[in-house]
Amino acid sequence: MCPKNVDIPSVVILMRARIFKRRSDLVPKSLLQLSATLTKYGLAFTPWEDEEDKAESRDARLERHGLPHIEDRIKPGAEVLYYPGCQAEERSQEIREAAKLILDYFGIDFTLPTEMSCCGLPAKLIGDEETARSLASRLTEQVRSLKVRAVITTCAGCTSRILEIAEEENWGVPVYHMVEFLAERVGIDRLGAEFSKGASEGGITVTVHDPCHLIRHVSRLVMDSALEILGAIPDVELADSGVADSCCGGGGLVGYHAADVSSLVTARNIEAITRRDPDRVVAPCPLCTSQIENELYRHGSGIEVDDLTVFIAKHLPLRR
């Protein structure tokens, strides 16, 4: 926090935009490659070439978590648009599938985007204002054409960026992270009642990682909702990680151009987590989840890591 209340992130983004526009030779090559991917595909990752391979990967991930698959749903006029984000769409597909399962279980009238494109946060962080604006326009068009009354995401970064776009473009519909939506619209009492019908893991200790984009750019209240939901799951004991407010090491795209810095930041989290030795770490963010999971694996730790949306789905009495 700046003692003079200077909005440092906005200043950094402004400077990056000027450098990207006027001195692109100074932009790290890895970020230029990411910008090219965003421009070419409208996504932060190169999409799967073969849909069958993508489906096989999805099914393998669901099997690992003991979750069933339900068909995608495109429904103009639905109450809610579930926006998965690039990582849940192309890499961590179990998060996308878990979100569908949860919404379907609680009878939420939802739709997926008719065409998946990035929210534009990576482009904004790079300084590529033109691509960021283009992607924001595409998302705005989707929301308006689908005529939904709310937007839900399962990604911390997407939540913060889409809230900005919704305000700038006057969407007139609320934007929620999944945990916020569940706490507010389904309710903790109902969630707890349904969790009590689900499978028990026999008592596990869970520590929670707080994504920067939620606690710093959206609201710390979102994480309060996350803790309330976890507290409603039988046999789950919450344990303080000791580094809840620390970046996972993947923020600001640092992993793309300064992997050594990223690893050092993540290592601080890993040291604190392993010292407390929980059974599981959960995070309401695909990037944080993968960053922590990969680093724990690299350190030879047996501590498991779940995205919070997946963890919630695993504790509902779903038909497997």
Angle at 291 between CA 287 and CA 295, to 5 degrees: 170
Residue pointed to by tokens 């090219």:
36
**Pair type for strands 236-238 and 175-177:** unpaired
Q: What is the pLDDT along the chain (320 residues), one digit of tens a residue?
A: 677 778 888 898 999 999 999 999 999 999 999 999 999 999 999 999 999 999 999 999 999 999 999 999 999 999 999 999 999 999 999 999 999 999 999 999 999 999 999 999 999 999 999 999 999 999 999 999 999 999 999 999 999 999 999 999 999 999 999 999 999 999 999 999 999 998 677 789 999 999 999 988 888 899 999 999 999 999 999 998 877 678 998 888 888 888 888 888 888 889 989 999 999 999 999 999 999 999 999 889 999 999 999 999 999 998 76
Q: Where are the domains of the chain?
A: 8-186, 200-314
**Pair type for strands 80-83 and 150-153:** parallel
- The DSSP secondary-structure symbol of 2 reads -
Residue pointed to by tokens 């790079």:
126
200-314 and 8-186 share a CATH fold:
yes
The full 3-state SS of 234-298, as one line of letters, equals CCEEECCCCCCCCCCCCHHHHHHHCHHHHHHHHHHHHHHHHHHCCCEEEECCHHHHHHHHHHHHH
CATH for the 8-186 domain, from 3.40.228.10, 3.40.50.10700, 3.30.70.260, 3.40.5.10: 3.40.50.10700
Record the pTM: 0.95
240-273: pLDDT as tens digits: 887 767 899 888 888 888 888 888 888 888 998 9
Beta bridge partner(s), residue 72? none
Radius of gyration of the chain (CA): 19
Q: What phi, psi does 111 have (nearest 5°)?
A: -140, 155
- Domain 200-314: CATH class, spelled out: alpha beta
Angle at 236 between CA 250 and CA 318, to 5 degrees: 90
